A = this chain, B = another copy of it.
Amino acid sequence: MTLSRYLPILTWGRAYDRSAFGGDLIAALIVTVMLIPQSLAYALLAGLPPEAGLYASIAPIILYAFFGTSGALAVGPVAVVSLMTAAALGKIAEQGTMGYGVAALTLAGLSGVILLVMGVFRVGFLANFLSHPVISGFITASGIIIAASQLKHILGIDAQGHDLLELGLSLAEHLTETNPVTAVIGVFAVGFLFWVRKGLGPLLRRLGLGAGLADILVKTGPVMVVAGTTYAVWALSLTDRGVDVVGAVPRSLPPLTLPSVSPDLIGQLLLPALLISVIGFVESISVAQTLAAKTRQRIDPDQELIGLGAANVGAAFTGGFPVTGGFSRSVVNFDAGARTPAAGAFTAVGLAITALALTPLIFFLPKATLAATIIVAVLSLVDLSVLKRSWFYSKADFAAVLTTILATLALGVEVGVSAGVGLSILLHLYRSSKPHIAEVGQIPGTEHFRNVLRHDVITDPTVLTLRVDESLYFANARFLEDRIQNRVAGDPNIRHVILQCSAINEIDMSALESLEAINERLREMDVKLHLSEVKGPVMDRLEKQAFLHELTGEIFLSQYDAVRKTRLSHGGVGSGPPR
């Protein structure tokens, strides 16, 4: 049982049959065709030789098939993680050097170990601190940086930089060196791919193709443009005109490689590896959950961490770089019929054949074409509407999105995502440190109590009832102290304070001590403190505490009881005007 928890393949493998095999095989064929240009392109984005992209898609996919729980997730290099890889490695070594490649392996290895540790210790919840607005903002900003970083390939010039400013300045400096033939290929490829996305699907459907087949043809757009431009470069000898091509790629299965264990290098890569792990995991789990829902499958987030961790460790030992579950390829995989992780394993076989036999075919593939496929893919990730949506929903979320976008664009991916996470935690703490506290009164003829500011309610000038709409903990305990003290000190009629605790899910020790202080201070003012509607788990904890003995008032099951009995206790049944 434990073994099959850590090796989900033992569970789904036992039920594997011919029908699942058929679906998985067809899906694998389609995904392989889609992955070839994608792997090459993302290797380029990460600053690595093209074959690294193929290698990063073979062993990791197979390892995920053993350890992962999603039947449709397609693991491999993805845009945002490749950008983060380039940003992390750029600080350590020059692109094209041995050191750069070893650092990429080490980054994948570290990221794998971090994911495995998180999975084994079941601390995947840490990834939750990346809020949705921060992720949206981060992905949008990353998409813009990635697209900008590919312009140099489109124009055939040199340019460096890991944030928008650096990139922009560098591009401007070299703009005059633009290679016209490369630029024609690049602009054509971008235009063609956009047309495939927007125009080809409707056209094919008008021509009478089924929607499913039309969709699959649209998805092969990158393959078409890769084949077309490669042929053009070869046929017209455009390399003589300065068009940069992929060139000789070794015909080989993934090599056995070793990441570095230098403490210096590991120290420098630890934070980037952590960020890459968390961002990769969050992206991956969200795709996996979405697809699993369509077939009522279960996804175990902690086991997903182990699956992705194993995949990254695999990448580290087979010449790859950090990988995760990709959105578009997983959707294609699922739509094409993949139902088990075996589809991934078949894809790996397809890519292995490619690496072994087909690499001579991509000798003349222009880098501008790969850049075009990246630009078109990432621009679909750019979604500035999140700014508008968050502005109208909550200013705190808006602040988090805006900070993340601006910090990522201006200061790079690591600062950007860290700033976003830090700010959203601070804003959350700020909000919960000033909880909504309503003064409530009775709705005439009912046992319901509502906010005196929103409803016509009956109140008693000698009884103050406050409902705190938040758990009480250290950050807001003193706020409640101040609020009660100032309210009671300003109104000499008050003889009873009732805290309606219906929305209080927890009282920590700071809050308990604040309640003790409130009780003591109210006693000094000759006012009794009562509690009403205390929840079971909260009461369980309070029961062992001295506070309950020192409490000047009582604990009532319902707010109605509380008001009725406190009125009786001082004789008056005064019903003040609604305030």
Kindly state whether residue A394 has any CB partner on chain B within 8 Å.
yes
**What sequence of 0s and 1s flags, for each residue 269-305 of chain A, a beta carbon within 8 Å of any chain B beta carbon?**
0000000000000000110011011101111010000
Chain B residue at smallest Cβ distance from A294:
B524
Smallest CB-CB separation from A469: which chain B residue?
B505
Residues on B with C-beta less than 8 A from A524 are 293-294
A431, CB-defined interface residue at 8 Å: yes
- CB-defined interface of A487-503 with B at 8 Å, one 1/0 digit per residue? 01110100000000011
Chain A interface residue bracket vs B: 35 or more
B contact residues around A506 at 8 Å (CB): 431
Q: Are A133 and B510 in contact (CB under 8 A)?
A: yes
Q: Which residues of B contact A509 (CB under 8 A)?
A: 131-133, 389-390, 393-394, 397
**Contact flags (1/0) for A3-25 with B, using CB distance below 8 Å?**
00000000000000000000000
Q: Which of B298, B425, B470, B492 is the one whose CB lies under 8 Å from A471? A: B470
Q: Which of B396, B436, B492 contacts A537 (CB 8 A)?
A: B436
A482 an interface residue at 8 Å Cβ cutoff? yes
Q: Does A485 have its Cβ within 8 Å of any Cβ on chain B?
A: yes
Complex interface: stretch among A187-195, A358-366, A472-480: A472-480
Q: How far is the CB of A243 from chain B (nearest CB, A)?
A: 44
B contact residues around A505 at 8 Å (CB): 435-436, 469-470, 503
Q: Is the CB of A485 within 8 A of B289?
A: yes
**Given that A125-B430, A509-B132 are contacting pairs, would A541 and B394 also be in contact in the complex, using a CB cutoff of 8 Å?**
yes
Contacts of A514 in B (CB 8 A): 132
Let me know if B129 and A454 touch, CB within 8 A.
Answer: no
A129: contacting residue among B125, B128, B396, B474, CB under 8 A: B474
Once the chains bind, are A512 and B129 in contact (CB under 8 Å)? no
Q: Name the residue on B nearest A132 (C-beta).
A: B510
A492 neighbours in B (Cβ, 8 Å): 296
Residues of B within 8 A of A299 (CB): 482, 485-486
Q: Which residue of B lies closest to A302 (CB)?
A: B482
- The answer to whether B489 and A521 have CB atoms under 8 Å apart is no
Is A517 in the interface zone, CB < 8 Å from B? yes
Q: Which residues of B contact A129 (CB under 8 A)?
A: 429, 433, 474-475
Could you say which residues of chain B place their CB within 8 Å of the CB of A544? 392-393
A577 CB within 8 Å of chain B: no
Number of copies: 2
A424 at the interface (CB under 8 A from B): yes
Residues of B within 8 A of A482 (CB): 289, 299, 301
| B residues in contact with A473, CB < 8 Å | 131, 428
A474 pairs with B428, CB closer than 8 A: yes
CB-CB under 8 A from A433, the residues of chain B are 125, 128-129
What are the residues of chain B within 8 A of A517 when measuring CB–CB? 286, 289-290
Distance in angstroms between the alpha carbons of A173 and B471 in the assembled complex: 51
Least distance between A341 CB and chain B CB atoms (Å): 17
A11 to chain B, nearest CB (A): 14
- Name the B residues within 8 Å of A335 (CB-CB): none
Decide if B128 touches A292 in the complex (CB within 8 Å): no
Compute how far the CA of A476 lies from the CA of B132 in the bound complex, rounded to whole angstroms: 12
Give residues of chain A (512-559) contacting chain B, Cβ–Cβ below 8 Å: 512-514, 517, 520-522, 524-525, 535-537, 541, 544-545
Interface string of A124-163 (1 = CB under 8 A from B): 0101111111100000000000000000000000000000
**What are the interface flags for A385-407 relative to B under an 8 Å C-beta threshold, 1 for contact and 0 otherwise?**
00001101110110000000000
CB atoms of A128 and B454 under 8 A apart: no
Is B471 a contact of A128 with CB atoms below 8 Å? no
Q: Is the CB of A292 within 8 A of B489?
A: yes
Of the residues B296, B392, B476, B488, contact of A296 by C-beta under 8 Å: B488
With an 8 A cutoff between CB atoms, is A434 at the interface?
yes
Which B residues touch A390, using CB under 8 A? 509
Give min CB distance, A51 to chain B, whole Å: 36
| Interfacial chain B residues near A392, Cβ < 8 Å | 544
How many angstroms from the CA of A146 to the CA of B475 in the assembled complex? 28
Q: In the assembled complex, which residues on chain B have CB atoms less than 8 Å from the CB atom of A545?
A: 393
Determine the distance from Cα of A433 to Cα of B131 in the docked complex, in whole angstroms.
12
A508 within 8 A of B: yes
What are 23 inter-chain pairs, A to B, with CB distance below 8 A? A125-B430, A125-B479, A127-B478, A128-B477, A128-B479, A130-B474, A131-B474, A131-B509, A133-B509, A134-B474, A289-B481, A289-B482, A293-B525, A298-B490, A299-B485, A389-B509, A394-B508, A424-B474, A425-B425, A428-B474, A454-B536, A470-B505, A503-B505
Residues on A close to B: CB < 8 A?
125, 127-134, 285-286, 289-290, 292-294, 296-299, 301, 389-390, 392-394, 396-397, 424-425, 428-436, 451, 454, 469-471, 473-479, 481-482, 485-486, 488-490, 492, 502-503, 505-506, 508-510, 512-514, 517, 520-522, 524-525, 535-537, 541, 544-545
Give the top 6 A-B pairs by smallest Cβ distance, nearest first.
A293-B521, A131-B474, A132-B510, A397-B509, A131-B510, A469-B505
A125-B430, A393-B541, A425-B425 known, 15 other contacts, Cβ within 8 Å: A125-B479, A129-B429, A130-B474, A132-B509, A290-B520, A292-B489, A293-B521, A296-B525, A298-B485, A298-B490, A301-B478, A425-B429, A428-B475, A451-B536, A470-B471
